[in-house]
Structure 1
Amino acid sequence: MKVEIEDLHVGYAGRDVVAGVHLVAAEGEIAGLVGPNGSGKSTVLRTVYRHLRPTAGRVLLAGTDLRTLSVGRTARQIAALPQERGSDFELTVAEVVVMGRTPYKRAFAGDDLRDREIVAHALAAVGMARHASRSFSALSGGERQRILLARAFAQDPQVLVLDEPTNHLDIQHQVELLALLRAQRRTTLISLHDLNAAASLCDRLHVLHRGAVVASGPPRAVLTPDLLAEVFGVRAAVTEHPLTGDPLIAFDHRRTA
């Protein structure tokens, strides 16, 4: 499902945080949002999963204005993993993941065999199959992250919206998560601070700076030394990763741009 954001404006307390953003995630494409803190990445994503209402502009799902869709239909189309993640669930892991099936259930309907199969598959996908009966609140931050991602997978959406999903994950689980997202090939909008991870994962990058998109395109075309200096304030060289061939950014940690 194609996602298009057209002339998006979002404001807080009378001030535009995002102004005139245009960006696209084609069907099956992983589109990354990168930029410094405060550049508007999370704000844009929150409008896609309807946590925020734009003051102007619109979000289109397969050409349909998001505002014309019911909440239930939106929940069947889009699953989100926001930065604000609950940590006080007094539920088991399986009970948290099965919450992803809610958009498909009638009120007070119980879980059926199909739900349980989907939950088991989602837990296996994030490497947590053996933890279904554990208390969610007893998990580490990285484990909780993987369970909430499993909940998003259990929702069986056409669009994934992920805001810094690699936070709290160790290196092995970061690599596994990025490989999993590549294999999914769902339309995905994802914000990442790690530019090398973004270059490896994403088909297209949108660089945000001060609430506006300042560059869009394939990672190799977007992540240039000049852009890194202008937007991120760092001195860097862009080379080729010796194992994958992806762009590899080497930062000068002794000086800024």
Structure 2
Amino acid sequence: MNIAVEDLTVTLAGRDVLCGVDLLAAEGEIAGLVGPNGSGKSTLLRTVYRHLRPSAGRVLLAGRDVRSMTPVEAARRIAALPQERGSDFEFTVREIVAMGRAPYQRAFAGEDATDREVVAAALDQVGLAGHEGRAFAALSGGERQRVLLARAFAQQPEVLVLDEPTNHLDVRHQVELLALLRARRRTTLISLHDLNAAASLCDRLHVLHDGRLIASGPPREVLTPELLAEVFGVRATVLEHPLTGDPLIAFDHRAAVTRQDQARV
């Protein structure tokens, strides 16, 4: 099942945060959103999972406008991991993950065997089997992140929408999370600050800058030194990763790109 964004404009507080954006996450594809802070990545994702209403344009799930779906239908199809995540939930790890089963349960009905199996599998996938009884509020930031990802997995969606899911994760858990997303091969729209992670994980990249889409395509075609200078204001070269063959961006941490440099790009 694919996600298509068509001519999307989102206006907040009288300002167009996104303007005329078109992009695609094809069925089974991991499509990444990259761009500087304030470029509109989170706004776009919030519009995809219906937290925000577009001023113009639309978001289509397999050709159907997501705004036409009921909340339950949308929740069965799209699971989101937003950046704004509460840290003081008075729930256990298992209770948080079990919330992902709500779209499948009748009102006032309890869990059934399927719910229990799905929750257990989701916890195991993120490496938290055996931690069901821990208080969510007592977890580290990385542990909370994995619990909320397990909740998204327990929702069994057709599409995952993930906003900076590697935030607060140490290197090992970042690598494990990216490997897990690759293995699941579910249609995924994901924003990432780490460009090397995006180059390794994503089949397709969409580059946002000042609310507009300025480039789309395979990471190897999109992540050029010229684009990195123009959009991110950094000097960099793009190499081949010696272990994986993926594009590997080597940044010049000693100097930023000046306006004069950008004018020459």
| TM-score relative to the length of structure 2 | 0.96
Distance (whole Å) between structure 2 residues aligned to residue 14 and residue 254 of structure 1:
39
SS in 2 for 1:7: strand
Distance (whole Å) between structure 2 residues aligned to residue 82 and residue 210 of structure 1:
21
Partner of 1:168: 168
1:177 aligns with 2:168: no
1:123 aligns with 2:118: no
Unaligned runs of 5+ in 1: none
- CA offset at residue 67 of structure 1? 1.4
Partner of 1:245: 245
1:83 aligns with 2:83: yes
Partner of 2:138: 138
- CA offset at residue 5 of structure 1? 0.1
Please tell me the residue identity of whatever aligns with 2:48. V
SS in 2 for 1:180: helix
Unaligned runs of 5+ in 2: 258-265
Distance (whole Å) between structure 1 residues aligned to residue 245 and residue 186 of structure 2:
23
Distance (whole Å) between structure 2 residues aligned to residue 109 and residue 138 of structure 1:
29
Partner of 2:99: 99
SS in 2 for 1:39: coil
Distance (whole Å) between structure 2 residues aligned to residue 224 and residue 75 of structure 1:
37
Distance (whole Å) between structure 2 residues aligned to residue 6 and residue 192 of structure 1:
22
SS in 1 for 2:250: strand
Partner of 1:210: 210
- CA offset at residue 121 of structure 1? 0.2
Partner of 1:23: 23
Q: For 1:30-57, what per-residue CA distance to the aligned partner results, in whole angstroms no more than 9, with x for missing partners?
A: 0000000000000000000000000000
Q: For 1:6-38, what per-residue CA distance to the aligned partner results, in whole angstroms no more than 9, with x for missing partners?
A: 000001111100000000000000000000000
Distance (whole Å) between structure 1 residues aligned to residue 138 and residue 71 of structure 2:
32
- CA offset at residue 174 of structure 1? 0.1
1:35 aligns with 2:35: yes
Partner of 1:45: 45
Pairing 1:6-21 to 2, within 5 Å after superposition = 6-21=6-21
Aligned length, in residue pairs: 257
Please tell me the residue identity of whatever aligns with 1:12. L
Please tell me the residue identity of whatever aligns with 2:105. K
User: Identity across aligned pairs (percent)?
Assistant: 77
Distance (whole Å) between structure 1 residues aligned to residue 142 and residue 161 of structure 2:
18
Distance (whole Å) between structure 2 residues aligned to residue 67 and residue 137 of structure 1:
33
Distance (whole Å) between structure 2 residues aligned to residue 158 and residue 125 of structure 1:
17
Partner of 2:261: none
Distance (whole Å) between structure 2 residues aligned to residue 85 and residue 43 of structure 1:
15
SS in 2 for 1:107: coil
Partner of 1:187: 187
Q: Which runs of 4+ in 1 moved over 6 A?
A: none
Partner of 1:229: 229
Please tell me the residue identity of whatever aligns with 2:86. G
- CA offset at residue 201 of structure 1? 0.1
- CA offset at residue 87 of structure 1? 1.0
Distance (whole Å) between structure 2 residues aligned to residue 2 and residue 143 of structure 1:
30
Q: For 1:113-153, what per-residue CA distance to the aligned partner results, in whole angstroms no more than 9, with x for missing partners?
A: 11111000000000000101111111110000000000000
| TM-score relative to the length of structure 1 | 0.99
SS in 2 for 1:253: strand
Is the deviation greater in 226-235 or in 60-69?
Answer: 60-69
SS in 2 for 1:129: coil
